[in-house]
């Protein structure tokens, strides 16, 4: 029977791709050095799944499979996507597809397959609620991670270090969020909510998708296919759907080496670079999806119908909810009067906030230097805080646009793992012999 240690060397918050990559890197380094560090990862989901409510049929990855959990660091790793294909007898078949971009469903299966090798280190079905410092005099000698399962049972785990990778917190615009209506759904819950509370497939329903990014476009197309008789509106703040900038001349900003360049710039330059390259990642859509939507809209003009619409340059002025649906008042640029439309479901594909780590560390806030993050992802703390804290996916303003993406996982996880091992299980010093001292004196 497995017994948890009284004190872990490392506790990770979240077990998505970031901390999964860290688990691999730790395994490699500890094996290579012949060292041991007790570690576990606390994950709120009942099992490993990556963006499960956005695993829509026909959706593909937006980055190459070579930017998997390990390949940029070690293409020979048993945890590479190529080895996953080989183990599942699909390597040749995948090659025959002539693509660098697997389906999102397949990539999720790759991540789940890899995560299965680390089940012993993961505590699924628990949500971290707080992190408390343990003081000995003035020194913070350890951290206590509090968590609770779905039944409300609480656990506490003492640790010598912490790695936060909780992912983003769904953002819903206040005008929608304040209604607290189950018919208003964030994209992170899309599939589950649509399938849990289904509408008649043949019914003449009305749906609104709010947002102008990849998720919004994918959900828009999914609803059009899922409900062939429904009206579906895609509501944009911008004037049009913008294609993502993903050519070879710009994709270098997602390379791990670019992190060094970006981190080394003054804050003013960093902010300028983030603004300049924003449309490589935010509020943009793959060109093929834009073409599909445009073709659909044109076909409607030919047929003289208007089942689906893209409503651009719109602001939501008012939201009203009653037994008949959710009514949005939309102010559209150039329109004399607000557009008023009732929907049976409103899906908010409006992105995520990356502040979860900070909120969970509220009891340590007075020990943190403004949540300043170093080059190797460690939070800056005074010397008397002896428990190092690392964060993954919360450093876009210091480490670049790739920080929230898969692109840097292989390298970032290795950097963090090296730092942890060097701090918690350093290599033993070679003993000094008398012959060494003599040799030094002669020289």
Mean pLDDT value across residues 172-196: 95
Identify the domain boundary among 329, 348, 367: 348
Check pLDDT > 70 for residue 433: no
pLDDT at 430 over 70: no
Do 220 and 305 share a structural domain?
yes
> For 310-323, how does the pLDDT look when each residue is reduced to its tens digit (9 = 90+)?
999 999 999 999 99
pTM of the full predicted structure? 0.93
Asked if residue 95 and residue 12 are part of one domain, the reply reads yes
What are the CA-CA distances from residue 212 to residues 203, 239, 242, 313 (Å)? 26, 10, 8, 11
Q: Is residue 122 part of a domain?
A: yes
User: 196 and 288: one domain?
Assistant: yes
Q: What is the DSSP string of 322-364?
A: ETTEEEEEEEETT-SS-EEEEESEEEE---EE--HHHHHTGGG
The answer on 366 and 338 residing in a single domain is no
DSSP classification of residue 187:
G
| In a shared domain, residues 15 and 153 | yes
Per DSSP, helices labelled H in 129-199 are 174-177, 190-196
- Residue 304: pLDDT over 70: yes
**With 60 as the cut, is the pLDDT of residue 145 above it?**
yes
Identify whether the C-beta of residue 7 lies closer than 8 Å to the C-beta of residue 158.
yes
pLDDT digits (tens, 9 = 90+) for 379-391: 999 999 999 999 9
Which pLDDT tens digit goes with each residue over 43-95?
Answer: 999 999 999 999 999 999 999 999 999 999 999 999 999 999 999 999 999 99
Is residue 439 situated within a structural domain? no
> Do 149 and 201 have their domain in common?
no
271/290 Cα distance (integer angstroms): 29
105 and 117 in a common domain = yes
Work out the pLDDT band at 442, boundaries 50, 70, 90.
very low
For a pLDDT cut of 90, what percent of the chain falls above it? 87
The domain that holds 122 is classified in CATH as 3.50.50.60
Q: Please give the full DSSP string across 94-123, using - where no structure is assigned.
A: HHHT--S--BHHHHHHHHHHHHGGGGGGEE
Query: How many structural domains compose the chain?
Result: 2
Looking at 303, 321, 348, the residue that finishes a domain is 348
Q: How far apart are CA 217 and CA 228, in angstroms?
A: 17
Does the pLDDT value for residue 401 go beyond 90?
A: yes
Residues 325, 328, 333: CA angle, nearest 5 degrees: 160
Q: Examine the domain organization and report whether 207 and 331 are in the same domain.
A: yes
User: What is the domain extent for residue 213?
Assistant: 172-244+281-348
In this prediction, residue 439 carries a pLDDT of 41
Q: What is the DSSP letter of 53?
A: G
């Amino acid at each position: 029977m497995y017994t948890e240690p009284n004190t872990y060397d490392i506790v990770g918050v979240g077990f998505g791709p970031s901390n999964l990559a860290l688990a691999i890197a730790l395994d490699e380094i500890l094996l290579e050095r012949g060292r041991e560090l007790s570690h576990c990862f606390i994950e709120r989901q009942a099992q490993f799944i990556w963006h499960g409510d956005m695993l829509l049929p026909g959706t593909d990855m937006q980055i190459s499979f070579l930017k998997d959990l390990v390949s940029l660091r070690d293409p020979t790793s048993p945890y590479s996507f190529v080895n996953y294909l080989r183990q599942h007898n699909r390597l040749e078949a995948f090659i025959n597809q002539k693509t660098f971009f697997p389906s999102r469903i397949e990539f999720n299966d790759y991540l789940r397959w890899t995560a299965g090798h680390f089940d012993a280190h993961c505590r699924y079905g628990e949500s971290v609620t707080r992190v408390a410092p343990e003081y000995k005099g003035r020194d913070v000698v350890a951290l206590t991670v509090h968590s609770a399962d779905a039944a409300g049972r609480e656990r506490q785990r003492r640790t010598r270090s912490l790695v936060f990778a909780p992912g983003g917190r769904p953002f819903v615009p206040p005008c929608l969020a304040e209604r607290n209506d189950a018919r208003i759904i964030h994209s992170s819950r899309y599939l589950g909510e649509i399938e849990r509370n289904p509408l008649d497939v043949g019914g003449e329903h009305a749906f609104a998708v709010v947002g102008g990014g990849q998720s919004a476009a994918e959900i828009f197309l999914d609803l059009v296919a899922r409900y062939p008789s429904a009206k579906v509106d895609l509501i944009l703040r911008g004037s049009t759907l913008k294609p993502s900038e993903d050519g070879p001349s710009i994709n270098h900003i997602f390379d791990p080496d670019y992190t060094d360049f970006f981190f080394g710039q003054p804050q003013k330059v960093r902010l300028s670079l983030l603004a300049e390259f924003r449309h490589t990642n935010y509020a943009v859509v793959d060109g093929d999806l834009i073409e599909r939507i445009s073709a659909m809209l044109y076909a409607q003009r030919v047929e003289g119908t208007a089942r689906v619409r893209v409503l651009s340059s719109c602001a939501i002025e008012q939201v009203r909810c009653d037994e008949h649906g959710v009514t949005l008042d939309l102010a559209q640029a150039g329109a004399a009067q607000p557009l008023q439309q009732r929907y049976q479901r409103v899906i908010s594909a409006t992105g995520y906030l990356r502040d979860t780590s900070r909120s969970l560390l509220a009891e340590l806030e007075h020990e943190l230097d403004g949540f300043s993050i170093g080059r190797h992802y460690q939070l800056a703390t005074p010397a008397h805080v002896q428990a190092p804290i690392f964060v993954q996916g919360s450093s876009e303003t210091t480490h670049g646009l790739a920080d929230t993406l898969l692109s840097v996982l292989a390298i970032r996880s290795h950097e963090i793992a090296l730092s942890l091992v060097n701090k918690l299980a350093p290599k033993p010093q070679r003993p000094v012999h008398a012959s060494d001292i003599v040799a030094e004196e002669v020289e």
